[in-house]
Structure 1
Amino acid sequence: MTEADFYDTLRQGLWVSVMISTPILMAALVTGVAIGLFQALTSIQEMTLTFVPKLAAIVVVFWLSMAFMTETLADFFSRQLVPLIAGS
């Protein structure tokens, strides 16, 4: 394994982690902005109001994107890491 192979595998692994985490982070961002806007409009300053809906949105998006995440990780493992481990 050359240094270029190592850095290419590292780059692809980081890209896979970005692709996998994007749906969950976007759900948290959108929910947080919506709840923050709601709090600003209604002058409700309750800390738990932001936590519970954001957690619920993250769980729902995680549940919906679980197949995509698993497929992406399995594809990366079988196409990139297994050949490197096997030495071919």
Structure 2
Amino acid sequence: MEETQILDVARDGIYTMILVAAPIMLAGLVVGLIISLFQTLTQIQEMTLVFVPKILVVFIAMLFFLPYMIQQLTEITERLMDLVVSLP
């Protein structure tokens, strides 16, 4: 296996990791920002207020984006298996 192929596999892996994790991370970020804004405007200083809504939104986002995530992981797995089969 050549160095360029190894770098391509590493780049594809990192890119796929970003594509799979980004929707869930963005959903958690948006909910965290909304709740932080709410806490700032109402001057509620409860530290645990953010956890329950964020957990619920992340769970719903996982259910919603699961087909997309599986598709991305399946595509990279097929590319890796094709690369393994084509090795001399």
Cα separation, 2, equivalents of 1:56 and 1:48: 14
- Residue 44 of structure 1 deviates from its aligned partner by 0.8
- For the residue of structure 2 that corresponds to 1:11, the secondary structure is helix
Equivalent residue runs for 1:35-74 within 5 Å: 35-74=35-74
C-alpha deviations, 1:45-80, integer Å up to 9, x for none? 1111111111111111011000000011001111x2
Aligned to 1:31: 31
Q: CA RMSD in A?
A: 0.9
- Residue 11 of structure 1 deviates from its aligned partner by 0.1
Structure 2 gap segments, 5+ residues each? none
Amino acid across the alignment from 1:6? I
Aligned to 1:11: 11
- Residue 27 of structure 1 deviates from its aligned partner by 0.4
- Residue 87 of structure 1 deviates from its aligned partner by 2.7
Aligned to 1:87: 86
Aligned to 1:22: 22
- For the residue of structure 1 that corresponds to 2:32, the secondary structure is helix
Amino acid across the alignment from 2:9? T
What's the TM-score once normalised by structure 2's chain length? 0.94
Runs of 4+ in structure 1 displaced over 4 angstroms?
A: none
Number of corresponding residues? 87
